[in-house]
Amino acid sequence: MASASAVDVVLLSKQDSGGFILDAQTTLTLQAGSRPEAYNTIHCQFLDYVKQRKVQCVCIKGSAVSIGGTKLAHLHAAELRGVVQAAAAAAGAEVRIMTRSAASRHFGTRKVDAYLKDDPYWVSLGLEQLKKGMREAAFAAISEFAKSP
């Protein structure tokens, strides 16, 4: 999940039982200074991360229309998501985009926020060690894995 100045990265492995193993969780923070140079740094960091860990699929939360109006932070977050998408593709990973609205319609019976707040749900997946702030990043992958055969 990308904000205007950071990317939350959650590395999951899916188990045959339907649960997940939390392999890693980290945050890549945009360096201060020139945004284009900082984007290049994040691009290189994420590209290396994906290659070194032999990640096959990267699931990213997609952009959405803001009812409250688009602010500069929304645009910066969208730019950073584009950088992450490009890095993942350059590393050879499949890139999937998850939007909250599509996940709410096609994954389970609840809205995304209900899953994010449900502690027992995360335990049932085997992800009790996942930081609460990283749940949305993990949910992008979980909802996309549910689409896979």
Q: Which two tokens stand for residue 135?
A: 């749940």
62-91 tens-digit pLDDT = 887 777 777 888 889 999 999 999 999 999
The pLDDT value recorded for residue 19 is 81
d(CA 63, CA 82): 10
How far CA 38 is from CA of 26, 35, 136, in Å, comes to 18, 5, 24
Model pLDDT, residue 149: 46
pLDDT score recorded for residue 147: 62
Distance CA 135, CA 28 (A): 16
Q: For position 148, what pLDDT does the model report?
A: 53
Q: Do the strands 57-61 and 94-98 form a parallel or antiparallel pair, or are they unpaired?
A: parallel
List phi, psi (to 5°) of 6: -155, 160
* Percentage with pLDDT > 70 across the chain: 98
Count Cβ neighbours within 10 Å for each residue of 78-92 and write b for 16 or more, e otherwise.
eebbebbbebbeebe
Average pLDDT (121-140) is 93
Indicate the average pLDDT of the chain.
Answer: 90
CB 137, CB 99: distance < 8 Å: no
Between these two residues, 3 and 46, which has the higher pLDDT value? 46
pLDDT mean over 116-124: 95
- The predicted-structure confidence for 93-103, as pLDDT tens digits, reads as follows 999 998 888 88
Domains of the chain and any CATH numbers = 6-145 (3.30.420.10)
